[in-house]
Amino acid sequence: MDLMKEFWNGSRLALARSISAVENETEGYTDILREVYSHTGNAQVIGITGAPGAGKSTLTDKLVKYYRTQGKTVGIVAVDPTSPFSGGAILGDRIRMNDLTLDTGVFIRSMGTRGSLGGLSKKSADAVKLMDAFGMDVVLIETVGVGQSEVDIVKNADTTLVVLVPGLGDDIQAIKAGILEIGDVFAINKCDRDGADRLNVEIEMMLDLNTEEVAWRPPIMRTIASKNEGVEDVINAMEEHRQHLIETGELEQRRRERTVNEITEMVKEQISRYVMNKVTSTGEFDTYVDQVFARKIDPYTVVESLVGKVVK
Amino acid sequence: MDLMKEFWNGSRLALARSISAVENETEGYTDILREVYSHTGNAQVIGITGAPGAGKSTLTDKLVKYYRTQGKTVGIVAVDPTSPFSGGAILGDRIRMNDLTLDTGVFIRSMGTRGSLGGLSKKSADAVKLMDAFGMDVVLIETVGVGQSEVDIVKNADTTLVVLVPGLGDDIQAIKAGILEIGDVFAINKCDRDGADRLNVEIEMMLDLNTEEVAWRPPIMRTIASKNEGVEDVINAMEEHRQHLIETGELEQRRRERTVNEITEMVKEQISRYVMNKVTSTGEFDTYVDQVFARKIDPYTVVESLVGKVVK
């Protein structure tokens, strides 16, 4: 395949095209994934999430620039699951990172919602694999928000950085609770704002709620990304976490769990497609829908009957 | 079944227990759903979503009280998909609605994330069905946030009310874009705050982006829920939307689509469970995982092999 020949030759265009192929599921995209798979597992994969307005993009920008001073190549998968209809307007602020795109050691890819959310988590994971196999030393997965979908997406990372900001309302603080438990490292960005100390205490308190014996206590770093302050501290904290994962064997364990989940999800997905094709290709399906809609039969009985016909 | 006998006798305790049975998938829960199904489709089902901090709970509270003055019974399903780990802390502000719980014409149920998100959308839809069959005239589905999961949940409603508030940051404004397209009626709450006019213009502009011929232009109402201002206007707008749905046949069309989705999702879910049980019960699965993890084989080949063994 010409595309993959160029990919292995280090063509950035080929990398971009391979990601598009996977994203759009164009013919032969699984061959691409098959081919790169044995070359994955080398990159340091970092997830970045946090409250909207926390300055994740600016911080990501500075992190990338720091990694570049260390001579590392960096891939960025910027994922926006919050705009199912508008198609990812927030990623417009990628434009801010334009100066990065001139650096051939950096590769940025935005992904919005197309099709199902489960799909987005899977596809961003595939984009990470492609960047990993391409040879990027560090791959960042950045998300825009704080929902379950963001949690699913950053679960594909080895280390997750949660970016918070002082002075958001209580309601938003509460929502943050959902992402606290996935943080391996915390950054309080815009830490010169009022409320940074209070936020720090709040995070510590939430961490204290976890009464289990923990091998890693997530450190809380303070940054002012716009002034490039605290960026090195965050990088070092993430590197420490990586060392911790390696030394304790947790890296292997996390990645093994991801492998199980990945296979499981793919099996479910493929079986679903097969079954739905089979089920909806008969006129029977429409008849059932009519009957259920008219409340002549309940959907549970219909599902039983449909499932029974596919599996023995 | 004693539970269902009491359910049909109008026991609120039986309603609560039936929802718990469905939520926890206790034995025989599908029998409950089968039994109530033919009694559903009578309630006016309204979804309420919007930015955190917009005052949805307060507005919901006032809407319920207004419906009560009209002599209508009201069920409320309050769903919190944003806290996968903390288990729904935000719903704590349900406590504010405590005075409602003294009214036997009102039934409130909170649901947090248990298991998968798809599950939460399905389970909240089932809770709506139970309240509908129980005889509630109006059923409100309220969510806390603005993500894809909230969109999935309110899709179970006939009419969706999107509650916004002036003066949130630009970043949060942008996120709102995702929920704009599901709004049938908009409420600008806390409309005495600075920025209400600007927000109104912004919503109008977003609505104008939709260049398709639309039969229903979502009206934008202004409310101060805490002072009970504008509540009747919102109720009337939602009633107008309901009439529009009925007259144009769109109500039937929306509900038919939901029936198709419901059956499809249930078939997928059941097939997945069956297949995963079958697949993971063999030692083969673990062997495959080991080989994939060691990168001796790629996951796509494994999935092909596993799927091929279940379906012909």
Residues B272 and B141 in one domain: no
Interface of B with A in 65-124 (CB under 8 A): 81-86, 89-90, 113, 117
Residue B301 contacts A where some CB pair is shorter than 8 Å:
yes
Residues B87 and B45 in one domain: yes
Q: Are B148 and A117 within 8 A, CB to CB?
A: yes
Minimal CA separation from A74 to chain B, in Å: 23
Residue A298 contacts B where some CB pair is shorter than 8 Å:
yes
**Mutation target vs B (from A33, A59, A275, A301; most B CBs, 10 A cutoff):** A275
Least trusted range by pLDDT, from A137-146, B78-87, B270-279: B78-87
Residues B217 and B286 in one domain: no
* pLDDT higher than threshold 60 for residue A224: yes
Task: Classify residue A249 as left (phi > 0), alpha (psi -120 to 50) or beta.
Answer: left
pLDDT tens digits, one per residue of B98-133: 566 678 899 998 887 654 444 788 889 999 999 999
Residues A90 and A77 in one domain: yes
**Smallest CA–CA distance from A258 into chain B, residue:** B293
Residue B168 confidence (pLDDT) = 67
Q: Which residues contact B298 (CB under 8 A, 6 or more apart)?
A: A33, A34, A37, A38, B292
Nearest CB to A267; choose among B40, B172, B275:
B275
What is the tally of structural domains in chain B?
3
Residues B136 and B217 in one domain: yes
Residue B135 confidence (pLDDT) = 97
Contacts of B295 in chain A (CB under 8 A): 37-38, 40-41
Residue A299 contacts B where some CB pair is shorter than 8 Å:
yes
Q: Are B169 and A113 within 8 A, CB to CB?
A: no
pLDDT tens digits, one per residue of A271-292: 878 877 877 777 888 899 889 9
Residue B307 confidence (pLDDT) = 83
Mean pLDDT of chain A: 84
- Is B254 within the bounds of a domain? no
User: If DSSP codes are grouped into helix, strand and coil, which group holds residue A229?
Assistant: strand
Contacts of A306 in chain B (CB under 8 A): 263, 267
- Is A238 within the bounds of a domain? yes
Q: Which residue has the higher pLDDT, B139 or B120?
A: B139
Q: Which residue has the higher pLDDT, B98 or A35?
A: A35
Residue A202 contacts B where some CB pair is shorter than 8 Å:
no
Residues A18 and A126 in one domain: no
Q: Are A81 and B148 within 8 A, CB to CB?
A: yes
- Give the pLDDT band of residue A87 (cuts 50, 70, 90): very low
Nearest-5° Cα angle at B262, B260 to B263: 70
Nearest CB to A271; choose among B81, B90, B272:
B272
- Is B106 within the bounds of a domain? yes
Residues B87 and B186 in one domain: yes
Residues A132 and A183 in one domain: yes
Contact B166, B196 (CB under 8 A): yes
Residue A181 contacts B where some CB pair is shorter than 8 Å:
yes
Residues A142 and A275 in one domain: no
The token pair at B160 is 């969706």
- Give the type of residue at B91: L
- Give the type of residue at A78: A
Q: Which residue has the higher pLDDT, B69 or B99?
A: B69
- Is A205 within the bounds of a domain? yes
Nearest CB to B259; choose among A30, A151, A293:
A293
DSSP result, chain B: -HHHHHHHTT-HHHHHHHHHHHHHT-TTHHHHHHHHHTT-S-SEEEEEEE-TTS-HHHHHHHHHHHHHHTT--EEEEEEE-S-TTT--GGGGGGGGGHHHHT-TTEEEEEEE--S-HHHHHHHHHHHHHHHHHHT-SEEEEEESS-SHHHHHHHTTSSEEEEEE-TT--HHHHHHHHHHHTT-SEEEE-STTSTTHHHHHHHHHHHHHH--S--S----EEE-BGGGTBSHHHHHHHHHHHHHHHHHHTHHHHHHHHHHHHHHHHHHHHHHHHHHHHHHHTSHHHHHHHHHHHTTSS-HHHHHHHHHHHH--
Q: Which residue has the higher pLDDT, A152 or B233?
A: B233
Element (H, E) at A17: helix A12-24
* pLDDT higher than threshold 90 for residue A235: yes
Q: Percent of chain B scored above 90 by pLDDT?
A: 44
- Give me the count of residues in chain B: 312
Residue A285 confidence (pLDDT) = 86
Residue A251 contacts B where some CB pair is shorter than 8 Å:
no
- Give the pLDDT band of residue A99 (cuts 50, 70, 90): low
Residue A159 contacts B where some CB pair is shorter than 8 Å:
no
Q: Percent of chain A scored above 70 by pLDDT?
A: 84
Give the span between the Cα atoms of A209 and B82, in whole angstroms: 19
Q: Percent of chain B scored above 70 by pLDDT?
A: 84
Q: Which residue has the higher pLDDT, A178 or B231?
A: B231
- Is B3 within the bounds of a domain? yes
Q: Are A90 and B175 within 8 A, CB to CB?
A: yes
Residues A85 and A223 in one domain: yes
Tokens 């960025």, located at residue = A76
Stretch A76-105: mean pLDDT: 60
- Is A299 within the bounds of a domain? yes
Residue A47 C-alpha from the chain's centroid: 6
Rounded to two decimals, the pTM is 0.72
* pLDDT higher than threshold 90 for residue B309: no
Domain limit, last residue, from B197, B215, B248? B248
Q: Which CATH number belongs to the domain containing residue A154 in this structure?
A: 3.40.50.300
Minimal CA separation from A43 to chain B, in Å: 15
- Is A281 within the bounds of a domain? yes
Stretch A14-29: mean pLDDT: 91
Highest averaged pLDDT of the listed ranges A23-32, A92-101, A197-206, B76-85: A23-32
Residue A97 confidence (pLDDT) = 54
Residues B142 and B244 in one domain: yes
**Smallest CA–CA distance from B295 into chain A, residue:** A38
- Is B79 within the bounds of a domain? yes
Highest averaged pLDDT of the listed ranges A8-17, A193-202, A289-298: A8-17
- Give the pLDDT band of residue B312 (cuts 50, 70, 90): low
The token pair at A12 is 């950035």
Residues B226 and B273 in one domain: no
Give the span between the Cα atoms of A212 and B154, in whole angstroms: 36
**Mutation target vs A (from B39, B40, B264, B305; most A CBs, 10 A cutoff):** B264
- Of residues B138, B159, B141, the one with CA closest to residue B149: B141
Q: In what order do the strands lie in the sheet with B74-80?
A: B106-112, B74-80, B138-143, B44-50, B159-164, B185-188, B220-222
**Mutation target vs A (from B58, B82, B156; most A CBs, 10 A cutoff):** B82
Question: What is the domain range of residue A223?
Answer: 40-248
Instruction: State the distance between the two ends of chain B, measured CA to CA, in whole angstroms.
Output: 40
Contacts of B275 in chain A (CB under 8 A): 267-268, 271, 311
Give the span between the Cα atoms of A158 and A155, in whole angstroms: 8
